[in-house]
Amino acid sequence: MENKPNTSPNVKSLEAKLLAVLRDASSPLTVVALKKRAKGRNTFLGIAIKNLLSEGRIVRSGKGINKSPYLYSLVIDPMAEKPSSEQSFDHDQGADSPSSGNVVPILK
């Protein structure tokens, strides 16, 4: 039997809440802080966290022990932060290559 993530409406709703909480957080959060802010049943919250981790939408750091609890944060997509003009930049044909159309002739 294949181990599939739980996709019940309760879990999907909590996944959305967890992503919103992490998006608004200024730093990574412990599971206790996530549970307080997302306000859902522990069973569904645990499943939602596992689903998001397995999908690569959040990351977990820390050792999961008293002095180093697990901390959860969003996965940052480096391309999402760049303006769209930089996303489509072709490195083989830089901004000043003759075929780019962006070459400004130097007049003497």
- The structural domains of the chain, ordered by start, are 9-77 (1.10.10.10)
* pLDDT for 14 beyond 60: yes
* pLDDT tens, residue by residue, 63-74: 999 999 999 999
Instruction: Choose between 61 and 87: higher pLDDT.
Output: 61
For 81-104, give one letter per residue: b (16+ CB within 10 A) or e: eeeeeeeeeeeeeeeeeeeeeeee
Within 13 Å and on the Cβ side, how many CA atoms surround 1?
Answer: 3
Q: Where are the alpha helices (H) located in 25-64, listed in sequence order?
A: 31-38, 42-54
- Radius of gyration over alpha carbons of the chain, in Å? 21
Instruction: Choose between 3 and 62: higher pLDDT.
Output: 62
64: left (phi over 0), alpha (psi -120 to 50) or beta: left
pLDDT of residue 7: 78
pTM for the model stands at 0.66
